[in-house]
Amino acid sequence: MYVFKHAFELKNYLSSARQAGKSIGFVPTMGALHDGHLQLIAQARQHTDLVVCSIFVNPTQFNDPKDYEKYPSTIAQDTEKLVAAGNNVLFLPAVAEMYPEGLASTSQYDFGYLETLLEGSYRPGHFQGVGRVMHKLLKMIMPHQVFMGQKDFQQCMIVKRLLEITGLPAQLVISPTTREASGLAMSSRNMRLSAEERQTATLIYQVLTYITQHRSDIDYAPVVAEATRRLVAGGFVPDYVAIADAATLLPITGAIPGKQVALIAAKLGEVRLIDNVVY
């Protein structure tokens, strides 16, 4: 596996690969890799000739500086996992490499209502930071396909919109959320949970399952209220429990034709967890 820390070296290598007719798959991550990330690597290997994984904890998408500081960093272990998974290229840039112009920005991406609800409401500016770093990475790598997990449902929609805005030719491939046997969605943030909290965290998936069991209800308000009650009773502090149209992420109040998505964001101790189920 090749490891690059500078964009110009990465671009040169990928340019040669492109000229040789190789298709490029890209898996963007912030490190602390788990089996969910490795499944994205495996999927990228199946569909493209050369797989690039980036590890970069992006400061511009964190609203809370303490959250940024506490984000787990396991570069040595991550590198070993990527080698074992057959990843071809690791891009490991420093903050100065990604933001030579500094962290302040006057540029804005038109994500419309997508950045005003759910995660956007609780983390103002978060998706502008996501858009900014993803735009940079996509221009550096110029992949044919980008592989992301459904757990970050709203972020996937933001990246899809970013591709539309910028006209970059990459295709977004969204993979199902990878879960532990307990149903807990795999997440880098799970590393910060105690053993007891990790067991408690399984309640999120149980509550999402409860919501899907009421998909035919005419009125979703009681379902959301009960789901919220169960989370609070289990020790969570919910930011939101929402049911939305899976195609638009716009909120819905009752059963509709087509796919729906139930989404939860809640704090357990100091750790904020998100999850969703499409049904």
- The reply, when asked if residue 120 is annotated as ligand binding, is no
Length of the chain: 279
Catalytic residue, chosen from 6, 37, 47, 126, is 37
Which residues, at least 6 apart from 203, have a Cβ–Cβ distance to it below 8 Å? 230, 231, 234, 236
- The reply, when asked if residue 104 is annotated as ligand binding, is no
- The reply, when asked if residue 188 is annotated as ligand binding, is yes
- The reply, when asked if residue 140 is annotated as ligand binding, is no
- The reply, when asked if residue 275 is annotated as ligand binding, is no
- The reply, when asked if residue 33 is annotated as ligand binding, is yes
Q: How far is CA 277 from CA 154, 159, 205, 212, 267, in A?
A: 12, 19, 8, 8, 18
- The reply, when asked if residue 110 is annotated as ligand binding, is no
Contact in structure between 176 and 23 (CB atoms under 8 Å): no
Which residues, at least 6 apart from 69, have a Cβ–Cβ distance to it below 8 Å? none
- The reply, when asked if residue 230 is annotated as ligand binding, is no
Q: How far is CA 70 from CA 85, 190, 270, in A?
A: 27, 12, 10
Contact in structure between 179 and 275 (CB atoms under 8 Å): no
- The reply, when asked if residue 268 is annotated as ligand binding, is no
What amino acid is encoded at 12 in this protein? N
Has 135 been annotated as catalytic?
Answer: no
- The reply, when asked if residue 189 is annotated as ligand binding, is yes
- The reply, when asked if residue 183 is annotated as ligand binding, is no
Rounded-to-integer distance, Cα 69 and Cα 242, Å? 29
What amino acid is encoded at 197 in this protein? E
Cite the annotated binding site for beta-alanine by residue number.
61
The residues assigned a catalytic role are: 37
Binding residue ranges for (R)-pantoate: 61, 155
Annotated binding site for ATP: 30-37, 149-152, 186-189
Q: Which residues are annotated as a binding site?
A: 30-37, 61, 149-152, 155, 186-189
